[in-house]
Structure 1
Amino acid sequence: MPGPDVKANDNVLGEMSTEPTATVHSGVEAKTERKLTVLETHGYVLGRTIGSGSYATVKVATSDRHNCQVAIKIISKFQAPGDYLKKFLPREIEVVKGLKHENLIRFLQAIETTHRVYIVMEYAENGSLLDIIRKDQHIDEMRGRRWFKQLVEAVDYCHERGVVHRDIKCENLLMDHGLNIKLSDFGFARGHMKPKNGVYSLSETFCGSYAYASPEILKGVPYRPQDSDIWSMGVVLYAIVYGRLPFDDTNYTQLLKQVQNKVSFPREPKVSTECRKLITKILSPLKVRVKIPQILEDPWLNPNQPAKDEEVDTAQVVSKK
């Protein structure tokens, strides 16, 4: 689909200007000067591609302004669906601008041209959690506990600010230089979702990946996205410790049955009872699914703290002496 003519300030991705270039007369041959691309005018020099989809590409870039490498998501206006450009993309930019947490990919800048939208963000140099799971086959509980706690704290931060992610999965959990989790890709995120008078707004946009989707999303009923984010975190934890997903998303009918049954665990690898209990509490029906405060207090996430019932037992023993 042909687009509008390139404007003088709309040179991107190394495209040359259609405007006449200035000439310098030195008595010899006139020399032409290359016009800077839009990204170059903002101090970014593009490097290799680290991700691509049907209408967006993510590239590494060197930034003079930030004096480091950054990641730039490049969205084609001509290839992206209309509802994405009008609804989801503006929402994503609005949401990420207001978030700042050590376990969230940091938003740096958005640049719009006639043909493209660029989202400049922090670069996580160690790939994704999915890459590590594939390499190691599964993650030991010590590392898994640290990463899962970082994820829970990042999502808790978002929810406290009325932001729901709606696409939590291993591919969207990136790793920085210190191997810390960085939750990324807020393409399906939504803000202004704080409860009003104790009542939560419901979502009717059924987004995300089937394998990580909660039963209520798969049923196609209006759902509370905070609870669905929690379900997705449970799928991530299962994938961390078992190196595979708990539900088979190749058959929708079977998937719907699986998510409504009690989650089952393979014999190998060996995973602690405490971890399996936490996964079960998260991957549970909506009425009994745990909330984030309960997850943060869970014995598996806090192995050095005595459980509450143990504290009660200890107090009773002391009082009897």
Structure 2
Amino acid sequence: METPTCGPYECLRVIGKGGFSEVHLAKHMETGDMVALKVMMEMGVDLEIVRSEVRSLEHLSHPNIISLVDSCEDATFMNSNCQEMNVMYIALELAAAGDLCNIILLSGRFPEDLARYYFHQLLEGVDYLHSRGISHRDLKPENLMLDADMNLKLADFGFSSTQALNETLKGTGGYMAPEIYTGLEYSGHCVDLFAAGVILFIMVAGTPPFKESKSTDPHYKTFPGNRKDLFWRFHTKRREGGLEFFSDDFRDLISSLLSVDPHVRPSMAEIRAHPWYNGPVPTQEEVQEEMEKRKQIIDESNDQSSQKAPETYTAKTIYRGCSGKDEAPNMSAIRKLAQYTPGITKYTQFYSTFDEDTLLATLTQFCEEFSLDYEVNDEEYKAKIEFGTKMVDVTLQVSILEVDETKRCIEFFKLRGAIFDFIEAYKMIKGFFGGQADTTLDD
């Protein structure tokens, strides 16, 4: 197989997926510079979203905002089969340590001082945006990347806006402020600070505060009902120390940031003057040490060599596609085991010393037993898996990659759904393979 290329870049490895896009770890073929290359197929992609992201990034320069390296609306992508297609791409600064969300969900919630360190960096990036008349409108832990020094970088500006007031329903459910749902004009700056409050809660609690900021949500409805005491009682009833699990200042800041009325929420200046914001903060060296410790725990858990082989699989196993049709695996097809390429930290993956056919069979067996629907590509050793329950509602892709002659990587990408559901699905599948599913540092 040939290494895919896109314009002047060699695409080494897929590190993220979206509806009409893929993010590749890529290397410039002349300079050797490494980038995160967001490649978008022209068919189906919203061109204005792409242009909005480029416009927002091309004049920004801040240590807590991902940098734009290059962009092109008319490029040629050549895949591993030497087939060409027209695409658009955005080349971005590489955030080598991955995203903040996966570290929290796979290693456990942050103590308040560590959360404060990253909340400071988050607000520095947001304040810089706002000072230049830009609102992000899609702040969430998945869009908070970490560089090699474990510093936070805001990413994904596809929903950003330069308008003082907006009306469009943009954002991600769970992080969108209540005024966005009304269809009336809202301040992009205010909704960014609401989302920052949700992110801060997740950093300290390890769980989301609610599913949606609507009066129908069982947890958020305590805000318009002026019963924030019930909100905190719910989120502390199973935690050590009860209500005192969170500091008084933390509860006060979160309660004000998540207020229904945007005029009641604190401004950027008021947040910075708040007692919780001005509490103790670890040094950069202490943060790096703590984050490396968490990363090492996740890496050690993922580097398993004792995954179980399936006990019941035979060559007659049926591969059922999303169409509902049953198809026998194509044993005569030319198999294409993609090569694993290091270069960026990805936490939702694990390793095995079993061969790729055994691993694909195990994955198929899992799909038969636990998924709502699935589609296995036995030629490229990957599967699209759909879950649809109250507990887990997500669609993901699982790929098997070759690390070396004796080691394989099983890598996961979220295609649809909430990140919390994605992590639960990842843990389920990892556990089915015999890997250690729980690596958290929670109390």
Please say whether Structure 1 and Structure 2 have the same fold, judged by a TM-score greater than 0.5: yes
Q: Deviations over 1:147-195 (max 9, x none)?
A: 011001100000000011000001101111111111100000012x3xx
Cα pair 2:115 2:204 within 8 Å, conserved: yes
* Residue correspondence of structure 1 range 300-315 to structure 2 within 5 A: 300-303=276-279
Specify which structure has the higher proportion of strand.
Answer: 2
In the alignment, the residues of structure 1 paired with residue 44 and residue 215 of structure 2 have an alpha-carbon distance, to the nearest angstrom, of 28
Query: Given the alignment, which residue of 145, 151, 170 partners 1:207?
Result: 170
Query: Given the alignment, which residue of 50, 54, 61 partners 1:100?
Result: 61
Residue 67 of structure 1, CA deviation: 4.6
Residue 241 of structure 1, CA deviation: 0.3
Residue 104 of structure 1, CA deviation: 0.5
Tell me what 1:282 maps to: 257
Any gaps of 5 or more consecutive residues in structure 1? 1-12, 15-36, 194-200, 306-321
| Distance 1:38-1:179 versus aligned 2 partners, 3 A rule | closer
Letter in structure 2 aligned against 1:276: R
Residue 220 of structure 1, CA deviation: 2.4
Tell me what 1:171 maps to: 142
Query: Given the alignment, which residue of 111, 134, 149 partners 2:120?
Result: 149
In the alignment, the residues of structure 1 paired with residue 6 and residue 97 of structure 2 have an alpha-carbon distance, to the nearest angstrom, of 28
Cα pair 1:215 1:259 within 8 Å, conserved: no
Tell me what 1:230 maps to: 193
Letter in structure 1 aligned against 2:273: E
Tell me what 1:109 maps to: 70
Identity of aligned residues (%): 33
* Residue correspondence of structure 1 range 233-244 to structure 2 within 5 A: 233-244=196-207
In the alignment, the residues of structure 2 paired with residue 57 and residue 212 of structure 1 have an alpha-carbon distance, to the nearest angstrom, of 24
Tell me what 2:179 maps to: 216
| Distance 1:251-1:202 versus aligned 2 partners, 3 A rule | closer
In the alignment, the residues of structure 1 paired with residue 10 and residue 270 of structure 2 have an alpha-carbon distance, to the nearest angstrom, of 45
- Secondary structure of 1:48 counterpart: strand
Residue 295 of structure 1, CA deviation: 1.0
Residue 288 of structure 1, CA deviation: 0.9
Are positions 1:63 and 2:28 aligned together? Answer: yes
- Secondary structure of 1:117 counterpart: strand
| Distance 1:158-1:61 versus aligned 2 partners, 3 A rule | same
| Distance 1:258-1:167 versus aligned 2 partners, 3 A rule | farther
- Secondary structure of 1:152 counterpart: helix
Q: Deviations over 1:13-47 (max 9, x none)?
A: 84xxxxxxxxxxxxxxxxxxxxxx552xx3x2211
Are positions 1:257 and 2:221 aligned together? Answer: yes
Tell me what 1:298 maps to: 274
Tell me what 1:22 maps to: none
Stretch deviating more after TM superposition (274-283 or 99-108):
274-283
Residue 251 of structure 1, CA deviation: 8.8
- Secondary structure of 2:165 counterpart: coil
Tell me what 1:90 maps to: 51
| Distance 1:65-1:173 versus aligned 2 partners, 3 A rule | farther
Q: TM-score, normalised by structure 1?
A: 0.74
Letter in structure 2 aligned against 1:172: N
* Residue correspondence of structure 1 range 118-133 to structure 2 within 5 A: 118-133=89-104
In the alignment, the residues of structure 1 paired with residue 131 and residue 28 of structure 2 have an alpha-carbon distance, to the nearest angstrom, of 32
In terms of Rg, which structure is larger? Answer: 1
In the alignment, the residues of structure 1 paired with residue 214 and residue 179 of structure 2 have an alpha-carbon distance, to the nearest angstrom, of 17
Tell me what 1:72 maps to: 37
Are positions 1:51 and 2:16 aligned together? Answer: yes
| Distance 1:61-1:252 versus aligned 2 partners, 3 A rule | farther
Stretch deviating more after TM superposition (69-78 or 244-253):
244-253
Residue 252 of structure 1, CA deviation: 8.3
| Distance 1:177-1:38 versus aligned 2 partners, 3 A rule | closer
- Secondary structure of 2:209 counterpart: coil
Letter in structure 2 aligned against 1:286: P
Tell me what 1:247 maps to: 210
- Secondary structure of 2:184 counterpart: coil
Cα pair 2:176 2:212 within 8 Å, conserved: no
In the alignment, the residues of structure 2 paired with residue 66 and residue 131 of structure 1 have an alpha-carbon distance, to the nearest angstrom, of 31
Any gaps of 5 or more consecutive residues in structure 2? 76-85, 282-443
| Distance 1:64-1:140 versus aligned 2 partners, 3 A rule | farther
In the alignment, the residues of structure 2 paired with residue 243 and residue 212 of structure 1 have an alpha-carbon distance, to the nearest angstrom, of 15
Stretch deviating more after TM superposition (241-250 or 112-121):
241-250
Q: Deviations over 1:71-97 (max 9, x none)?
A: 0000111132xxx21x22212111110
In the alignment, the residues of structure 2 paired with residue 187 and residue 65 of structure 1 have an alpha-carbon distance, to the nearest angstrom, of 29
Residue 249 of structure 1, CA deviation: 3.8
In the alignment, the residues of structure 2 paired with residue 146 and residue 128 of structure 1 have an alpha-carbon distance, to the nearest angstrom, of 16
Letter in structure 2 aligned against 1:220: G
* Residue correspondence of structure 1 range 19-34 to structure 2 within 5 A: none
| Distance 1:249-1:66 versus aligned 2 partners, 3 A rule | farther
Letter in structure 2 aligned against 1:248: K
